[in-house]
Amino acid sequence: MVENKTGAAARIAIDAVNSAAPDGATLLLLTPYSMMAIYPHIYKQLSYDPFTDLMPVCMASSLVHALAVGPMAPASVKTVKDFLAWAKANPKDASYGSPAAGSTPHFLGALLGLNNGVDLKHIPYRGSTPGVVDLIGGQIASMFTPHGDFLANHKAGKLRMLATSGRQRSGFVPQIPTFIESGFPDLMVEEWFGFYGPAKTPASTIAAANAAINAALKEKSVIDSLAIQGMLPVGGTAAQMAADQKVQFDYWGPILKKIGFTAEA
């Protein structure tokens, strides 16, 4: 049974799992790593410690982000470098949307501007959909968001993806170069989503849940459902998930310090 616990940028859901009995009956589902690796750097106070209050169970899926432009940017803007040149020449229109302040796409846009000396105005939305609507409508010049949210409109010619954030090109849009290929390796990000349990959940319970999730990720119906959103199955062990959470935590710390963003706790 799925119980939605919305609010406080998903921290309410995390608190609910944190306070649940460690018996495997309650899991935190499909949680982006940002809540464990980024939130500790941007919130002055968190009600949970991502390394001691929650136990990694299994990575579920991963996605890449993308930069896309809409009709506000002229047709001559075909690459990330083109976009930066246009943004520098048109500072009043140099904006980018993201699905939320404090989200990974927000920080990718901030890095693009900071590292290239271009003042890009950030416009946060409540989710990707309203931002994509404004992008297509010419209300904003560009947007960073998971590339799956661009796929339908990109294929319909209503917006143009300029680059994706993976190590390699996305199989969903193989014609679009990566940021690495485009000359911006600092924007290489592959964000994963995973399952967590409460602290002190028995190792045997974690192992059983991990095995069930890995099995589900091999089912065609699950793979196809993820593909609709531009996502790929991941899987693996709980130990691998815990190790990469620490890698991401260490990676984002200095970047967020450079950007200087903090959120109200």
- Contact in structure between 118 and 84 (CB atoms under 8 Å): yes
**Same domain for 100 and 210?**
no
Domain closes at, from 142, 163, 187:
187
- Per the structure, the complete domain to which residue 150 belongs is given by 64-187
**Same domain for 114 and 88?**
yes
Would 112 be classed as within a structural domain?
A: yes
Q: What is the reported pLDDT for 5?
A: 62
C-alpha span between 17 and 151 (Å, rounded): 33
**Same domain for 252 and 199?**
yes
**Same domain for 110 and 180?**
yes
Q: What is the reported pLDDT for 44?
A: 86
- Total domains in the chain come to 2
231-244 CB burial, b ≥16 within 10 A, e <16: bbbbbbbbeebbeb
**Same domain for 178 and 204?**
no
C-alpha span between 127 and 133 (Å, rounded): 11
Domain closes at, from 187, 202, 229:
187
Distances in whole angstroms, Cα of residue 3 to Cα of each of 8, 169, 236, 264: 16, 35, 25, 26
Q: What is the pTM of this model?
A: 0.92
Would 1 be classed as within a structural domain?
A: no
**Same domain for 229 and 135?**
no
Domain closes at, from 167, 187, 207:
187
What CATH number has the domain bearing residue 214?
A: 3.40.190.150
Residue holding tokens 């809540």? 35
Would 50 be classed as within a structural domain?
A: yes
Q: What is the reported pLDDT for 4?
A: 67
- β-strand pairing of 142-146 with 95-98: parallel
What CATH number has the domain bearing residue 94?
A: 3.40.190.10
Would 2 be classed as within a structural domain?
A: no
Q: What is the reported pLDDT for 22?
A: 85
**Same domain for 134 and 224?**
no
**Same domain for 137 and 198?**
no
Would 44 be classed as within a structural domain?
A: yes
Would 3 be classed as within a structural domain?
A: no
**Same domain for 80 and 135?**
yes
**Same domain for 105 and 163?**
yes
Local confidence pLDDT in tens for the 265 residues of the chain: 777 665 555 677 787 887 788 888 888 888 899 999 999 999 888 889 999 999 999 999 999 999 999 999 999 999 999 999 999 999 999 999 999 999 999 999 999 999 999 999 999 999 999 999 999 999 999 999 999 999 999 999 999 999 999 999 999 999 999 999 999 999 999 999 999 999 999 999 999 999 999 999 999 999 999 999 999 999 999 999 999 999 999 999 999 999 999 886 4
Instruction: Indicate the SS3 state at residue 69.
Output: strand
Q: How many residues does the chain have?
A: 265
Q: What is the reported pLDDT for 6?
A: 55
- Contact in structure between 138 and 68 (CB atoms under 8 Å): no
Q: What is the reported pLDDT for 265?
A: 41
The residue type found at 232 is L
Would 29 be classed as within a structural domain?
A: yes
Q: What is the reported pLDDT for 9?
A: 57
**Same domain for 50 and 71?**
no
Would 170 be classed as within a structural domain?
A: yes
Residue holding tokens 């990974």? 104
> Measured on CA atoms in the order 113, 118, 121, 125, is the torsion positive or negative?
negative
**Same domain for 172 and 74?**
yes
